[in-house]
């Protein structure tokens, strides 16, 4: 008889197992997902600031599980994602981890086909609740509207915004699923009495944030009393120094805030150009969907649903994640 004692919190639990050692458990396998073929959507283009962190998480999961993974890069183009998903479903892999950017309506018929073909689905970064309610699948990422609202509340507090102040919020407002996050930020600021000017972001800006330079500069010049500007992702937030310098603004003159971390954002914190960001841990958005698909396919486990919203990064704590961000992990 083998007796093992475990500490669970402050409680000691003694377990007795007949004729076996925990070290010999059959479930402890190396490369346990090696026979499973998956397709993973990274979202951005190769080398993209945010997409690279997602990709690094997915590659780590591939290494840890042994899964066979084909990686798909979409340049944040929702229409391209839909076409790539159509091709992915047609190829009939065991599982697909899909970015939710195209939204429920666009993904629904392909999710239906995947379900009919026995393909397991996971979604990351943008939730598609109607799809998952109809055809299953889990979600790994921040909850868009709540995270956006929380960021708006925090921006009002840290920036010291008062009723009647002017702010600018940039976001993909025309995309119902993806734009829910930035719309949540707008709602929170308007609840505080802030006048918010909304700028709809173009897909191309995520690939090349300098394309937004004339639009953002013009918005600042046309609203000289603007106190704060919110950005829809790490690509634009990391490019804040260029926007501010083009508008002849000094570090800290405008409260700049947004979403994500990256080496560029860490540098912008260093230069006092950026004052607040909401971290959604994209590494987990790469790692956990593959882990979940492998767990479902190999062990018959249920799909994971994980909120990766980790809170806020500010000038007071950004150095804690700084080195990890520069390694492409945060």
What mean pLDDT do residues 5-19 have?
Answer: 43
171 pLDDT exceeds 80? yes
- In the chain, the domains with their CATH numbers are 37-142+281-310 (3.40.50.2300), 144-279 (3.40.50.2300)
Are 236 and 200 contacting, i.e. CB atoms less than 8 angstroms apart?
no
Return the structure tokens found at 323: 């080195």
Whether the per-residue pLDDT at 12 is higher than 80: the answer is: no
Mean pLDDT of the chain: 92
User: In which band, very low, low, confident or very high, does the pLDDT at 26 lie, cut at 50, 70 and 90?
Assistant: low
Q: What pLDDT sits at residue 15? A: 46
pTM over cut 0.85:
yes
pLDDT, position 24: 54
What is the SS3 assignment for the chain?
Answer: CEEEEEEECCEEEEEEECCCCHHHCCCCCCCCCCCCEEEEECCCCCCCHHHHHHHHHHHHHHHHHCCEEEEECCCCCHHHHHHHHHHHHHHCCCEEEEECCCCHHHHHHHHHHHHHCCCEEEEECCCCHHHHHHHCCEEEECCHHHHHHHHHHHHHHHHCCCCCCEEEEEECCCCCCCCHHHHHHHHHHHHCCCEEEEEECCHHHHHCHHHHHHHHHHHHHHCCCEEEEECCCHHHHCCHHHHHHHCCCCCCCCEEEEECCCHHHHHHHHCCCCCEEEECCHHHHHHHHHHHHHHHHHHCCCCCEEECCCEEECCCCHHHHHHHHHCCCC
* Lowest-pLDDT choice from 5-19, 270-284, 308-322: 5-19
Using the predicted structure, report yes or no on whether residue 179 has a pLDDT greater than 90.
yes
- Residue 330's pLDDT band (boundaries 50, 70, 90)? confident
Contact 89, 110 (CB under 8 A): yes
Q: What is the mean pLDDT of residues 5-30?
A: 51
Q: What mean pLDDT is predicted for residues 247-262? A: 97
pLDDT at 11: 39
pLDDT grade for 28, boundaries at 50, 70 and 90: confident
Q: Cβ distance 188 to 149 under 8 Å?
A: yes
Q: Which of 7-11, 135-139, 241-245, 258-262 has the lowest mean pLDDT?
A: 7-11
User: Taking 70 as the threshold, does the pLDDT of residue 311 lie above it?
Assistant: yes
- The per-residue pLDDT for range 83-115, each reduced to its tens digit, is 999 999 999 999 999 999 999 999 999 999 999
Confidence of residue 2 (pLDDT cuts 50, 70, 90): very low
212 has pLDDT over 50: yes
Percent of the chain with pLDDT over 70: 92
């Amino acid at each position: 008889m083998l007796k093992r004692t475990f500490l669970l919190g402050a409680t000691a639990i003694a377990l007795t197992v007949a004729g076996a050692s925990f070290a010999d458990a059959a479930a402890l396998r190396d490369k346990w997902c090696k026979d499973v073929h998956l397709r993973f959507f990274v979202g951005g283009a190769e080398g993209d600031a945010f997409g690279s962190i997602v990709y690094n998480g997915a590659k780590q999961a591939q290494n840890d599980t042994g899964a066979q993974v084909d990686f798909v890069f979409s340049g944040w183009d929702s229409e391209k994602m839909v076409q790539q998903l159509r091709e992915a479903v047609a190829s009939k892999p065991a599982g697909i981890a899909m970015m939710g950017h195209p939204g429920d309506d666009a993904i629904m018929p392909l999710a239906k086909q995947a379900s009919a073909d026995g393909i397991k689905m996971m979604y990351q970064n943008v939730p598609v609740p109607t799809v998952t309610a109809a055809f299953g699948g889990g979600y790994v990422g921040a909850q868009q509207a709540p995270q956006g609202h929380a960021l708006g509340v925090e921006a009002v507090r840290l920036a010291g915004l008062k009723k009647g102040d002017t702010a600018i919020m940039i976001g993909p407002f025309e995309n119902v699923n993806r734009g829910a996050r930035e719309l949540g930020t707008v709602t929170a600021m308007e609840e505080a009495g802030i006048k918010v000017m909304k700028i709809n972001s173009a897909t191309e800006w995520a690939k090349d944030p300098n394309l937004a330079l004339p639009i953002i500069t013009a918005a600042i010049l046309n609203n000289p009393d603007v106190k704060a500007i919110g950005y829809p992702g790490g690509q634009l937030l990391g490019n804040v120094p260029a926007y501010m310098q083009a508008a002849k603004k000094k570090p800290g003159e405008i409260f700049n805030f947004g979403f994500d971390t990256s080496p560029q954002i860490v540098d912008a914190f260093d230069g006092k150009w950026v004052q607040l960001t909401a971290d959604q841990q994209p590494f987990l958005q790469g790692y956990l969907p593959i882990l979940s698909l492998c767990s479902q396919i190999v062990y018959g486990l249920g799909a994971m649903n994980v909120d990766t919203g980790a809170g806020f990064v500010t000038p007071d704590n950004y150095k804690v994640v700084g080195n990890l961000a520069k390694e492409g992990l945060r």
